[in-house]
Amino acid sequence: MRVGQAKELFRALTKKYFAEAQVVFANQSRTPMQKIPLVVITPGNVNRPTHPNYEVVDGVLVGKYLSRFSLTVDLFSNGAPVIDEETGEIVAYEDNAEEDLLAFVDFLNSEYALTWSHRNDVSVLVDGDVLSLTGVVNDTTYQYRARLTAQFYFTQRAVGHAAVLSEDSVQYPTGEKDPETGEPAYTSDAPEDTESRTGDWDRISGKKPEDNVIVKPEFTPTASGGGTEELASIETGYFTEAEIKEEKADE
Residue 199, pLDDT > 70, answer: no
d(CA 251, CA 245): 18
pLDDT at 205: 44
pLDDT at 202: 54
d(CA 96, CA 80): 6
d(CA 146, CA 39): 10
171 within 8 A of 216, measured Cβ to Cβ: yes
Residue 108, pLDDT > 50, answer: yes
d(CA 182, CA 180): 6
d(CA 246, CA 227): 45
Residue 105, pLDDT > 90, answer: yes
Percent of the chain at pLDDT exceeding 70: 77
pLDDT digits (tens, 9 = 90+) for 157-184: 988 888 888 888 888 887 777 777 777 7
Look at residues 88, 91, 113 and name the one whose alpha carbon lies nearest to residue 14.
113
Residue 86, pLDDT > 70, answer: no
pLDDT at 32: 56
DSSP letter for each residue of the chain? --HHHHHHHHHHHHHHHSTTSEEEETTS-----TTS-EEEEEEEEEE--SSPEEEEETTEEEEEEEEEEEEEEEEEE--EEEE-TTT--EEEEE--HHHHHHHHHHHHTSHHHHHHHHHHT-EEEE-S--EE-GGG---SS-SEEEEEEEEEEEEEEEESTTS-B-GGGEEEEEEEE-TTT-SEEEESSPPPP-S--STTHHHHH---TTTT-EE-------TT----HHHHT------S-----------
188 within 8 A of 170, measured Cβ to Cβ: yes
Taking the mean position of all CA atoms in its chain, how far away is CA 87?
49
* Dihedrals phi, psi of 139, to nearest 5 degrees: -150, 135
pTM listed for this prediction:
0.78
Q: β-strands 90-94, 131-132: how paired?
A: unpaired
d(CA 76, CA 37): 6
Average pLDDT (184-213) is 62
